[in-house]
Chain A
Amino acid sequence: MIMPSMDRSDVLFLYRQMLLIRRFEEKSAEMYALAKIAGFLHLYIGEEAIAVGAMAALRPDDYAISAYRDHGHCLARGSNPDQVMAELFGKATGLCHGKGGSMHLVDAPRRFMGGYAIVGGHIPLATGLAFATKYQKLDLVTVCFFGEGAIPSGQAHEALNLAALWKLPVIFVCENNRYGMGTPAERAIALYADVAGTARSYGIMAERVDGMDVLAVRDVMRRVVEQARAGQGPFFIEAMTYRFMGHSMSDPAHGHYRTKEEVEEHRNRDPLLLLKQTILSNNLGTDADLLQLEREVGEVVTAAVKFADESPFPIPSELYHDVLAD
């Protein structure tokens, strides 16, 4: 049965966006191996449905903000892959002129307000963005992405309390990928079996969604974004997901803290695979359509690498630029 939310072009667009992130991330890993990218690199592979589903429910002038695993959110928000890859390469043409890097992507014109690398530290910023839009009497919402690893942090709790207290238009999207680095949720979070319950304890409406199902994410987001826009206060989504790769490039996909079998089991619910099945079984597209998208995305990613590689590094004087505003 085709549900009302399954418009053909919408669904193919979601597939393309997830595929773009997947191929971009795979290429980033390759570039890391070639030492074109350095430092920390946290890949979003396996979690694409959350960023893509969530961003599909936003208006261009809404705010989004993320933690350090932020490439997916930035791309899903519509940032130019050339500029994102150039930032990972540390090039002058990067989104942040090479000053931010993988964990600190910012695209202000697209209201992507950044990736932040102190766990829990950006959640108060999200409440501030929402506070500002309410103060300015604008009907905008802010979406804040973070992993379940942020839930035990004090700043997360302070932000949840303020958002609930002041009914701020902010959607907290907790990407529960089961592990904070190598520590499983059950060894880190008292309410591990119901992380959304943390938000409910502050009086914030919350629900769990299948974070591998992009349509489910988009549909719950559409509903709660409109609630928040209408002044009903914050909402908390616990999106159940799984990262197919290690925590960062120094962490193998499986080994010390999770088995190969466990990873394989989750790979059976690959968000791209699930959407592909939905598309084919509902006649929303053909294998040829999907192959065409694969080709398009492949070209975009190849072009992004070429752009990044050929771009210049920042000039030395850039070091001192933008420490302070004039």
Chain B
Amino acid sequence: MLMSYREALNQAMREEMRRDSRIFLIGEEVGYYQGAFKVSKGFVEEFGPQRVVDTPITEAGFTGLAVGAAMAGLHPIVELMTMNFAIVALDQIVNNAAKIRYMSGGQLSVPMVIRGPGSAAHQLGAQHSQSLEAWFCHVPGLKVIAPATPHDAKGLLKSAIRDKNPVIFIEAQLLYGTKGDVEDGEYTIPIGVAEVKRAGRDVTIVAYSKMLLLALEAADQLSREGIEVEVIDPRTLKPLDLPTIVASVKKTGRLVIVEEGWRFCGLGAQIAESVYTAAFDYLDAPIQRVTGEEVPMPYSRPLEDAAIPNKARVIEAVKALCSAQ
């Protein structure tokens, strides 16, 4: 069934909340406003304000409250209006949510989802246009998911909600309106399993979230020029499905990693290190990375465009690899 990414998320949460009364949604404007991006449309009407909890602008407070509620047996879904605001709640995410199970010797668990849109939209400025997934991936005790399609978004959000650990679930404002086929009825997608989104023999591209769509566009164009690209979406960033990526690299011998985040210590650096370790002898050329520029996001449209990976840069990276010996 064709549906938008936004509707897929809405369905995932709705199905899970109908299934399990321990699940509640909490965040700014999630209730009567219907969600800042309308992801929770209709929720307060169906589940009531006890389970669809509007908060004041207090990310550390309500994220911490959700961690405490999870410790007491509830399953919170925290909606951050944007993932940028996770920075304000980072003490709760890193020091409490991620560590409480370990510090308590396994006595306590923190089953919760922290979700919201990451990455740039259009001209939202430096404080609302960040891709912080590498920060979360760095922390033991967290799982990190960044789906690109409505189908993956639904299946993975349901798995995230059922997981017994804190899961960071990164959406994207520019994905909310995109549409795709979503399987009818009840289904989940396992956390930690990548998917080959397009098969190819010449070059492997790893891309996630919004960047997957860019990679697929680039692959279409390259195909017309005779270069067959295999596009892999890890979907889950941590734990990373390295075997699927490595199997593809062993076939193509060439890898491009596309990410919107900053280059230095970005997620692509980790993926590259993992691939070098696992498949060095299979690589015909050094791994290429296409990343965001290392600047705070500028407001002006041409500058913003220049800061974010685009199709031309992805194509350029693929061609550079193909011409390398």
Contacts and interface: CB of A to CB of B under 8 A. Distances in A.
A324 B71 contact: no
A63 B60 contact: no
Contacts of B67: 124-125, 128
A231 interface: no
A236 to B, nearest CB: 16
Interface string B57-68: 010111111111
A268 interface: no
A20 to B, nearest CB: 22
Given A155-B91, A322-B101, A325-B164, A125 B140 contact: no
Interface stretch (A98-106, A207-215, A255-263): A98-106
Interface residues of B, number: 40
Contact of B96 (A125, A158, A326): A125
Given A114-B100, A118-B95, A325-B164, A129 B61 contact: no
Nearest to A104: B103
The A contact surface, by secondary structure, is mixed
B100 A155 contact: no
A124 B107 contact: no
Interface residues of A, number: 45
B165 A324 contact: yes
A108 B104 contact: yes
B106 interface: yes
B195 to A, nearest CB: 22
Contacts, number: 145
A195 interface: no
B176 interface: no
B60 A154 contact: yes
A280 interface: no
Interface in A122-140: 122-133, 135-136
A96 B105 contact: yes
B107 A96 contact: yes
Contacts of B243: none
A162 interface: yes
Nearest to A326: B164
Contact of A106 (B50, B58, B92, B104): B104
Nearest to B163: A325
Interface string B61-79: 1111111111111100000
B62 A132 contact: no
A118 B165 CA distance: 21
Given A106-B103, A323-B141, 6 more contacts: A114-B100, A132-B68, A135-B69, A135-B74, A158-B60, A159-B64
24 contacts: A95-B107, A97-B105, A106-B103, A106-B104, A108-B108, A118-B91, A124-B63, A125-B64, A127-B68, A131-B69, A135-B69, A155-B60, A155-B61, A159-B61, A161-B58, A162-B56, A162-B62, A165-B56, A322-B105, A323-B102, A323-B141, A324-B101, A324-B141, A324-B164
Interface of B: 24, 50, 55-56, 58, 60-74, 91-92, 95-96, 100-109, 111, 140-141, 143, 164-165
